[in-house]
Amino acid sequence: MVHVLAAGSLFFPGLFLLSKAGLRRLQLFRGEESNTIIVSARLVSSIQAVLASTAGYIVATSCKDVIEDRHWLAATYTRFAVPYFIYDVYAMYLCYWHKHKVKDHASGWQLTRAYLRKEFLMVLHHVFMVAVCFPVSVLWREGKGDFFLGCMLMAEVSTPFVCLGKVLIQYKKQHTLLHRVNGVLMLVTFFCCRLLLFPYMYWVYGQRVGLPLYKVPFSLSPEYNIGAAILMAPQVYWFYLICQRAYTLFRQSILCQRPKNGHPASEISAKDQDCSQ
């Protein structure tokens, strides 16, 4: 276990440094250190998501019995990925710091507090994954339920689309066809792989023990339902934010396509300002 944890501790920060050096060498951002760091962090998150979802798919499709069957990749990748959540908290802070250090003229401690306020839910989610989900998945479940762990890993399918969307918005490409297509894929994968994931796992378990879906929660110990609720709650909130942002961009796109003839100067100015955001 120690060797796998050590490998993950080297892999994710090393990949971040490697991608940052590669972007500098390619001179894609020409001295804009903040953009280099932000894109590098998004790239590492996307690669981790691809690795996790691939591992999850292999595990889930290999387990015929959803409770008893085991696959070595389930525990191995879980251990390998734990350092990623620790690294990612720092990477998110680094992105926030570079993005706001000049604009806000704030000290390091002020930026840290602002970062924790803005990303409180994400930081709490990462801490929960390391402090609770890791011990549960490696020790408490006693080798059972690799299928469900594989399903949880496949929740990362939506992450590359989320990262690409943030990068496109960062470079004011939110009105391009690429952003629209990516937005649709992000909504579909997030909804299917993060929100429908939990009802699906309840349904699969019900099929295994011969219970209809609505009876499954009452047949499980309270800790299972509480854990599922804790994991699902932030996903619902983030999906709401994604839908809200998608609606805002769609509304701005409609406004930008309307002809300006006949509009008051103040309305045209306001509309042009929205289109440039």
Q: Is 42 helix (H, G, I), strand (E, B) or coil?
A: helix
* Of 111, 129, 141, 148, the residue nearest 230 (C-alpha): 129
Average pLDDT, the chain: 85
What pLDDT band is residue 166 in, cutting at 50, 70 and 90? confident
Specify the pLDDT at position 270.
41
In percent, the amount of the chain with pLDDT more than 70 equals: 87
Q: What are the pLDDT digits (tens) for 108-135?
A: 778 888 888 888 989 999 998 999 888 8
What is the band of 138 on the pLDDT scale with cuts at 50, 70, 90? confident
Is pLDDT above 70 for 147? Answer: yes
Res. 167: pLDDT tops 60? yes
How many CB atoms lie under 10 A from the CB of residue 194?
22
Residue 29 pLDDT > 80, yes or no?
Answer: no
Calpha distance 106→24 (Å, rounded): 27
Q: What is residue 112's predicted lDDT score, i.e. its pLDDT?
A: 84
Encode pLDDT of 182-224 as tens digits: 999 999 999 999 999 999 999 999 999 999 999 999 999 898 8
pTM: 0.85
pLDDT recorded at residue 106: 59
Between CA 38 and CA 19 the distance in angstroms is 11
**Distance (Å, whole) CA 53 – CA 47:** 10
Q: Mean pLDDT over residues 80-93, rounded?
A: 94
pLDDT at 107: 63
CA contacts within 13 A on the Cβ side of 89? 17
> Contact, 98 vs 34, CB < 8 A?
yes
Mean pLDDT check: name the lowest of 63-72, 79-88, 163-172.
163-172
Percent of the chain with pLDDT over 90: 53
pLDDT of 40 strictly over 80: yes
Residue 170: predicted pLDDT: 80
Vertex 123 angle, CA 16 and 231, to 5°: 110
Average pLDDT over residues 165-187: 87
Q: Is residue 233 predicted with pLDDT exceeding 80?
A: yes
Residue 236 has pLDDT above 90, yes or no: yes
Task: With a cut of 70, say whether residue 240 has pLDDT above it.
Answer: yes
Query: pLDDT band at 265, cuts 50/70/90?
Result: very low
